[in-house]
Structure 1
């Protein structure tokens, strides 16, 4: 701390980060209190839009949310992960507070062609977490991809610590598989460390070999 005080710019930047963090905590407590009276998820307006159709204002809101959660913009996110086709935007009082994106992809399951809706990027602003918002967006997007998109199943990857959370939302963890995809250099890579979650309405999929025609999401 003494070193920071000797550098006013660093000290003020550190102080600003602490104030922002404290405000987020206070706002979250406020939202959790009011949530018992009038649940936020019941007031949430969810719009699912083509990514290419976003206007400038919407793109700014999306990038603001990505920076708050991932410390990068969505465009920067594209450099490593697949670009989304659709975005589910969750609004409260015209403020964007949550996002989930949808990627349309093709894959081979044990050599058989499959159309996928890859979902990911489920993020909520810190002040609005643990209020049921993410779960509400997750369920709405699930309904949308199976009712409106010509797909065989949904698929996404996640950290192993999140498997039980997504299982409660109706997704299943693949237990025996090898998943390959194209990395940023267009070379074939094998997925490691992450869990693969899958969901389908009419058929049970449990492939041993998954080959994604493109980057992951």
Structure 2
């Protein structure tokens, strides 16, 4: 069962469970450990009985695509619990929530950051690798260029942009 909830409405127990799943999933990933991340606005969970089989967060924000402000839904922490990996939970949930991103939130793009090993997975789901520069903010540093993969899911068509500035922390 897929649930879409405001992050602020999630109780502390569920937040702790999600944080623990993220801690396990990203245990050895230095870029994740060394980055300050945005607080999400939404949590999308796919439950199997009472278990959270997988989840991801959504951050809503206006970002600059080559100096044009565009509203995006930023996807982060796409995590499947180890007991449910390889069973299609992430694929089904991401496909199912496309309507939420584009029709409910009215985003023009979905945008996510991922490691090299996940680029092909997202491409199969209709995401496109962004070849340009991504600028993110980090406390005490200011704006920096993101050093990993950026994936875009367009609402209708993808245009050719050179730079995206998230106007804040990454998600």
Q: Structure 1 length normalisation: TM-score?
A: 0.71
Q: Partner residue of 2:39?
A: 83
- Runs (5+) with no aligned partner, structure 2: 28-32
Cα distance in 2 for partners of 1:190, 1:69 equals: 24
2:151 to 197, 201, 208: 197
RMSD: 2.0
**Does structure 2 retain, via aligned residues, the 8 Å contact 1:180–1:188?**
yes
Tell me how far 1:113 sits from its aligned partner. 0.7
Q: Partner residue of 1:36?
A: none
**Does structure 2 retain, via aligned residues, the 8 Å contact 1:181–1:212?**
yes
Tell me how far 1:205 sits from its aligned partner. 2.6
1:130 to 64, 86, 104: 86
Q: Partner residue of 1:180?
A: 135
Q: Partner residue of 1:24?
A: none
Cα distance in 2 for partners of 1:159, 1:70 equals: 11
Tell me how far 1:186 sits from its aligned partner. 5.5
**Does structure 2 retain, via aligned residues, the 8 Å contact 1:50–1:85?**
yes
Q: Partner residue of 2:168?
A: 214
Q: Partner residue of 2:30?
A: none
Tell me how far 1:181 sits from its aligned partner. 1.3
Q: Which has the higher strand share?
A: 2
2:99 to 139, 143, 149: 143
**Does structure 2 retain, via aligned residues, the 8 Å contact 1:108–1:212?**
yes
Cα distance in 2 for partners of 1:211, 1:128 equals: 35
Cα distance in 2 for partners of 1:115, 1:124 equals: 27
Tell me how far 1:111 sits from its aligned partner. 1.1
Q: Partner residue of 1:104?
A: 60
Report the 3-state secondary structure (helix = DSSP H, G, I; strand = E; otherwise coil) of the residue aligned with 2:97. Answer: helix
- Runs (5+) with no aligned partner, structure 1: 1-44, 72-76
Q: Which has the higher helix share?
A: 1
State the structure with more CA Rg.
Answer: 1
